[in-house]
């Protein structure tokens, strides 16, 4: 069966694509909630689900929604009364600030109120249960062990960075989120848990997937390359190769072939070119050879991105919470959720 995963692979090279982030956030939300349930039951699982799920929704769609509101407001301002670039920068920064402030400072308070209500209901049920005699099974279980200038170049540069660089955007906003969650933690042990979890998560949210893809490509002697760059290269090769060309002649034309706006800035295009030469066993290279190598490279990279995303989810959803709980247990000598310790 001829499988070409070029189209779905493109989403992993698009910094504004929702699907890769949605995959990670869904896995992390469900995974952390499940791990939390094992330690702290429904209460801790509820907190993790609300915190993680709401944060994901705000980052994926909330910031864009806020920006659209800002754009509508901007349309009502006469052109002569506003600086277009300054307004766009202000809109990006304000939208990002509102989202960061909500996740870091407002959401924890909402979460704590939900927990308080659940605990109050739980305690009422416990009180009711104590008014009747224990069953034999219950007995057995019980006896077991202002003046802001938006026209400055710094503000415009910062807004541009937040708008166009996903890594920078998350690093900047994560700083505010970490500070907010630390401030709103209910005791020092919850502060320690939040700090460890949020800081250690940064690497697996932003960098680990790409690093593992690079590693898998090195191990398999393949190349991590955007499939759109390969399509451009393929189009340029059509005229050069024709019905076939010798390796020697193709190598001589390498520099002219990759001297293209879409190709020259991609260092991996040169690596792929060398890979294509080395993978072709016969001296004569045809378009059929090129097409097979491109498909093979795309399919490998799709598999590597799925596998690497899975590794990142595992670290975020299971490994980090387990280490986080281990640290708390060593500090408190209790395997309990520190957020509800006072109850």
Phi-psi category of 4—alpha, beta or left, where left has phi over 0 and alpha has psi -120 to 50?
beta
- Which among 294, 314, 300, 296 has a CA at the least distance from the CA of 209? 314
126 and 24 within one domain:
yes
269 and 174 within one domain:
no
Residue 134: what pLDDT? 47
257 and 156 within one domain:
no
Answer yes or no: is 191 within a domain. no
| Nearby residues of 272 by Cβ (< 8 Å), 6 or more positions away | 223, 225, 230, 233, 297
113 and 34 within one domain:
yes
The number of folded domains in the chain is 2
Answer yes or no: is 10 within a domain. no
260 and 155 within one domain:
no
Answer yes or no: is 302 within a domain. yes
Q: What is the pLDDT along the chain (343 residues), one digit of tens a residue?
A: 567 788 899 999 887 788 998 999 999 999 999 999 999 999 999 999 999 999 989 988 888 899 899 888 888 777 665 577 788 888 888 998 999 999 999 999 999 999 999 888 877 765 554 445 544 455 345 445 444 444 456 667 767 766 766 666 666 777 888 999 999 999 999 999 999 999 999 999 989 999 999 999 999 999 999 998 899 888 888 888 887 888 888 888 888 888 766 676 567 888 998 999 998 888 888 898 999 999 999 999 999 999 999 999 999 999 999 999 999 999 999 999 998 876 4
Distance, CA of 335 to CA of 113 (rounded, Å): 23
Which structure tokens are listed for 290? 């090129």
Looking at the chain, list the stretches that DSSP marks H as alpha helix, in order from N- to C-terminal side.
6-10, 19-57, 63-75, 84-101, 107-129, 136-142, 153-164, 166-184, 188-206, 208-219, 227-241, 247-252, 254-257, 267-279, 287-314, 320-332
Instruction: Say how many C-beta atoms besides its own lie within 10 A of residue 239's C-beta.
Output: 8
Answer yes or no: is 4 within a domain. no
34 and 177 within one domain:
yes
As a whole number of Å, the CA-based R_g of the chain is 27
Domain assignment of residue 173, given as a range: 15-143+150-184
| Angle between helix 84-101 and 63-75 (nearest 10) | 140
Answer yes or no: is 212 within a domain. no
CB contact at 8 A, 307 and 210: no
Domain's final residue, options 165, 184, 203 = 184
Which structure tokens are listed for 299? 């399919």
- Which among 21, 159, 14, 154 has a CA at the least distance from the CA of 88? 159
262 and 139 within one domain:
no
Answer yes or no: is 324 within a domain. yes
Please state the pTM of the whole predicted model.
0.81
Distance, CA of 246 to CA of 185 (rounded, Å): 67
Q: How far is CA 206 from CA 21, 45, 300, in A?
A: 10, 25, 21
Answer yes or no: is 210 within a domain. no
Answer yes or no: is 231 within a domain. yes
Distance, CA of 304 to CA of 298 (rounded, Å): 10
171 and 52 within one domain:
yes
313 and 244 within one domain:
yes
245 and 159 within one domain:
no
Residue 139: what pLDDT? 38
- Which among 116, 117, 106 has a CA at the least distance from the CA of 181? 106
232 and 134 within one domain:
no
118 and 22 within one domain:
yes
């Amino acid at each position: 069966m001829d499988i070409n995963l070029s189209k779905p692979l493109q989403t992993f090279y698009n910094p504004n694509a929702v699907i890769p982030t949605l995959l990670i956030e869904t896995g992390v939300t469900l995974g952390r909630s499940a791990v939390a349930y094992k330690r702290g039951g429904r209460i801790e699982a509820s907190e993790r689900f609300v915190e993680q799920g709401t944060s994901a929704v705000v980052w994926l769609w909330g910031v864009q929604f806020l920006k659209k509101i800002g754009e509508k407001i901007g349309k009502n301002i006469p052109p002569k009364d506003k600086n277009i670039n300054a307004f766009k920068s202000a809109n990006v920064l304000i939208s990002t600030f509102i989202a960061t402030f909500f996740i870091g400072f407002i959401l924890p308070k909402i979460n704590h109120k939900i927990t308080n209500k659940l605990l109050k209901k739980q305690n009422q049920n416990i009180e009711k249960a104590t008014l009747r005699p224990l069953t034999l099974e219950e007995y057995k279980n019980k006896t077991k062990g202002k003046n802001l200038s938006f026209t400055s170049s710094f503000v415009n540069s910062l807004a541009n960075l937040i708008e166009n660089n996903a890594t920078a955007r998350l690093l900047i906003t994560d700083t505010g989120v970490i500070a907010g969650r630390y401030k709103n933690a209910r005791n020092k042990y919850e502060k320690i848990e939040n700090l460890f979890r949020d800081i250690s998560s940064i690497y697996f949210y932003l960098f680990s997937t790409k690093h593992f893809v690079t590693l898998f490509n090195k191990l398999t002697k393949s190349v991590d390359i955007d499939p759109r760059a390969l399509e451009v290269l393929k189009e340029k090769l059509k005229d050069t190769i024709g019905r076939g060309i010798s390796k020697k002649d193709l190598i001589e034309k390498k520099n002219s072939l990759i001297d293209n706006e879409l190709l020259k800035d991609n260092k991996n295009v040169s690596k792929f070119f060398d890979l294509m030469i080395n993978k072709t066993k016969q001296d004569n290279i045809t378009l059929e050879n090129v097409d097979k190598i491109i498909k093979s490279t795309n399919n490998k990279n799709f598999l590597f991105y799925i596998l690497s995303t899975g590794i990142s989810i595992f670290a975020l959803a299971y490994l980090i919470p387990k280490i986080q709980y281990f640290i708390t247990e060593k500090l408190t000598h209790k395997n309990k959720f520190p957020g509800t310790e006072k109850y």
